[in-house]
Chains A and B, each alone.
Chain A
Amino acid sequence: MATRVAVLGAGPGGYAAAFYAADLGMEVTLIGEEKNPGGVCLYKGCIPSKALLHVAKVIDEAHHATEWGVTFGEPKVDVDKLRAYKNRVVEKLTSGTGQVAKLRKVHYIQGRASIVDPTTLRVQKSEGGEETVSVDYVILATGSHPTRIPSLSLDSPRVLDSTGALDLPEIPKTMLVIGGGYIGLELGSVYAALGTKVSVVEMTPGLLPGADRDLVRILNQRAEKVFEKIYLSTKVTGMKDAETGVTVSFEGEGAPAEASFDYVLVAIGRRPNASIDGLERTRVKVDAKGFIETDGQRRTAEPTMFAIGDVAGEPMLAHKASHEARVAVDAIAGHKAVFEPAAIPAVVFTDPEIAWAGLTEADAEKQGMTVEVARFPWGASGRAIAIDRVDGMTKLLIDPKTERILGVGIVGSGAGELISEGVLAIEMGATASDVKLTIHPHPTLTETVMEAAEQFFGQATHVYKPKRK
Chain B
Amino acid sequence: MTDLVLPNLGDGVAQGDVLKVLVKPGDPLKVDQPVLELETDKATIEVPSTLAGIVKSVRVKAGDKVKPGQAVMTVDQGVAGAPPEAELRTAEAPKAEAAAPAQVETPAPAPTAPPASAAEPERPRAAVVDIAAARQQGPVALQVSTAQPTAPAAPSVRRLAREIGVDIAQVTGTGPGGRISQDDVKEFAKRVMTSFGSAGQAAAVTGVGAPLQVRALPDLSKFGETERKPMTGIRRKTAAHLSSAWNTIPHVTQFDKADITQLEQMRKKYRSEVEKAGGNLTVTAVAAKVLASALKVFPQFNASVDMAGEAIVYKKYINVGIAVDTDNGLLVPVVRDADKKNLSQLSVEIQQLAEKARARKLSLDDMSGGSMSISNLGGIGGTAFTPIINWPEVAILGISRGIFEPVWNGESFEPRQMLPLSLSYDHRIIDGADAIRFLRWVAEALESPFALALRG
- State the A residues within 8 Å of B (CB): 144, 147-152, 179-184, 203-206, 208-211, 213, 235-238, 251, 267-271, 289-290, 313-315, 317, 320, 335-338, 340-346, 348, 356-360, 362-363, 365-368, 399, 402-404, 406-407, 427-431, 433-434
Q: Does B100 contact A (CB under 8 A)?
A: yes
Please, what's the 1-or-0 string for B303-333, where 1 marks a CB less than 8 Å from any CB in chain A? 0000000000000000000000000000000
Q: Choose from B128, B163, B175 the contact partner of A429 (Cβ within 8 Å).
A: B175
The answer to whether A237 and B128 have CB atoms under 8 Å apart is: yes
Residues of B within 8 A of A150 (CB): 130
Which residue of B has the minimal Cβ distance to A238? B127
CA distance A431 to B176 in the complex (A): 7
Q: A151-B127, A290-B137 are in contact. Are A357 and B152 (CB under 8 A)?
A: no
Q: Contact flags (1/0) for B137-169 with A, using CB distance below 8 Å?
A: 111111111110111111100110011000000
- Residues on the A chain within 8 Å of B95, using CB: 362
Cα distance, A148 to B134, chains bound together (Å): 8
Q: Give chain A nearest CB distance to B328 CB in angstroms.
A: 30
> Are B176 and A205 in contact, with the CB atoms below 8 A?
no
Task: Please choose the segment from B177-185, B289-297, B384-392, B410-418 that sits at the chain A interface, where 4 or more of its residues have CB less than 8 A away.
Answer: B177-185
By a CB distance below 8 angstroms, the chain A residues around B116 are 203
Find B102's partner among A236, A346, A356, A363 (CB 8 Å cutoff): A363
Whether the pair B158, A340 counts as a contact (CB closer than 8 A) is yes
State the CA gap A160–B256 with chains docked (Å): 89
In contact, B152 and A238 (Cβ under 8 angstroms): no
Given A358-B146, A367-B3, do A336 and B163 touch, yes or no (CB 8 Å)? yes
Q: Does B250 interact with chain A (Cβ within 8 Å)? A: no
Within 8 A of A (CB), among B45-104: 71, 94-95, 97-102, 104
CB distance from A290 to the nearest CB of B (A): 7
Q: Are B130 and A356 in contact (CB under 8 A)?
A: no
Q: Which residues of B contact A213 (CB under 8 A)?
A: 98
**A342 contact from B126, B146, B176, Cβ within 8 A:** B146
Residues of B within 8 A of A148 (CB): 134
A434 to B154, CA, bound (A): 14
B5-A368 in contact (CB<8A)? yes
Q: Would B144 and A317 count as touching, CB distance under 8 A? A: yes
Tell whether, in the assembled complex, residue B177 and residue A429 are in contact, meaning their CB atoms are under 8 Å apart: yes
In B115-133, which residues have CB < 8 Å from any A CB? 116, 119, 124-128, 130-132
Instruction: Select A366's contact among B3, B150, B207, beta carbons within 8 Å.
Output: B3
Cβ of B135 under 8 Å from chain A:
yes
- Set of chain A residues within 8 Å of B180, measured between Cβ atoms: 429
Contact, CB under 8 Å: A344 / B137: no
Are A358 and B176 touching (Cβ within 8 A)?
A: no
| B262: Cβ under 8 A from any A Cβ | no
In this complex, what residue of A is CB-closest to B132? A203
B150 touches A340 (CB 8 A): yes
Contact A149 B130 (CB under 8 A): yes
Known: A289-B137, A336-B159. 10 other contacts (CB 8 A): A147-B134, A149-B130, A181-B140, A238-B127, A362-B99, A367-B102, A402-B177, A403-B177, A429-B179, A431-B179
Bound state CA distance, A399 and B176, in angstroms? 12
Expressed in whole angstroms, the minimum distance between the Cβ of A333 and any Cβ of chain B is 12
- Are the C-beta atoms of A399 and B177 separated by less than 8 Å? yes
Q: Which of B97, B127, B152 contacts A404 (CB 8 A)?
A: B152
Any A CB within 8 A of the CB of B2: yes
Say whether A238 contacts B137, CB under 8 Å: no
Given the contacts A363-B145, A429-B179, A183 and B130 also touching, CB distance less than 8 Å: no
Known: A184-B140, A269-B139, A429-B177. A209 touches B131 (CB 8 A): no
Closest 10 CB pairs between A and B?
A181-B140, A210-B141, A429-B152, A269-B138, A402-B177, A346-B144, A209-B141, A346-B142, A429-B179, A314-B143
Tell me the bound Cα distance from A357 to B144 in angstroms.
7
Cα A32 to Cα B126 in complex, Å, equals 36
Q: Which of A203, A315, A341, A366 contacts B131 (CB 8 A)?
A: A203
A345 to B145 CA separation, bound complex (whole angstroms): 8
Closest to B126 in A: A151
Report how far A343 CA is from B155 CA in the complex, Å: 11
Question: Residues of A contacting B177 with CB < 8 Å?
Answer: 399, 402-404, 429, 431
| Across-interface contacts of B125 in A (CB, < 8 A) | 237-238
- Assembly CA distance A320 to B159 (angstroms): 18
Measured between beta carbons, the chain A residues less than 8 angstroms from B126 are 151
Q: Is the CB of B142 within 8 A of A269?
A: no
- The reply to whether B140 and A183 form a contact with Cβ atoms under 8 Å apart is yes
CA distance in complex: A119, B150 (Å): 35
Known contacts A367-B3, A431-B176; A345/B144 CB under 8 A? yes
**Contact assessment for A367 and B5 in the assembled complex, using a CB-CB cutoff below 8 Å:** yes
Q: Name the contact of A151 in the complex, choosing from B124, B130, B207 (C-beta under 8 A).
A: B130
Q: Which of B101, B140, B146 contacts A182 (CB 8 A)?
A: B140
Chain A residue numbers with a CB within 8 Å of B71 are 366-367
Most chain B beta-carbon contacts within 10 A, residue among A149, A213, A336, A366? A366
- A360 near B101 with CB under 8 A, answer yes
Which of A209, A363, A403, A434 is in CB contact (< 8 Å) with B139?
Answer: A209
Contact present for B128 and A269 (CB under 8 Å): no
B139 touches A181 (CB 8 A): yes
Q: How far is the CA of A208 from the CA of B151 in the complex (A)?
A: 30
Question: Would B154 and A180 count as touching, CB distance under 8 A?
Answer: no
16 of the cross-chain contacts (CB-CB < 8 Å) are A144-B138, A148-B134, A152-B130, A152-B131, A181-B139, A210-B141, A210-B144, A211-B142, A238-B127, A269-B139, A315-B104, A315-B144, A344-B145, A404-B177, A429-B152, A429-B180
Whether the pair A235, B176 counts as a contact (CB closer than 8 A) is no
Instruction: List chain A residues, Cβ under 8 A from B135.
Output: 203, 268-269
Residues of B within 8 A of A430 (CB): 179
Task: Quote the shortest CB–CB distance from B14 to chain A (angstroms).
Answer: 17
Are the C-beta atoms of A368 and B146 separated by less than 8 Å? no
**In the complex, which of the residues A147, A211, A348 contacts B138, with contact meaning CB atoms closer than 8 Å?**
A147
Task: Give Cα distance in the complex from A184 to B140, angstroms.
Answer: 9
Nearest chain B CB to A103 CB, angstrom units? 28
Quick check: A210 and B131 within 8 Å, CB to CB?
no
Q: Report the minimum CB–CB distance from A2 to chain B (whole Å).
A: 23
Are B130 and A209 touching (Cβ within 8 A)?
no
Residues of B close to A428: CB separation below 8 A: 154, 179
**How far, in angstroms, from A251 to B128 measured CA to CA in the complex?**
9
Separation of A27 and B104 alpha carbons in the complex (Å): 34
Q: A236-B127, A359-B145, A434-B176 are in contact. Are A210 and B98 (CB under 8 A)?
A: yes
Establish whether residues A363 and B153, one from each chain, have CB atoms under 8 Å apart when the complex forms: no
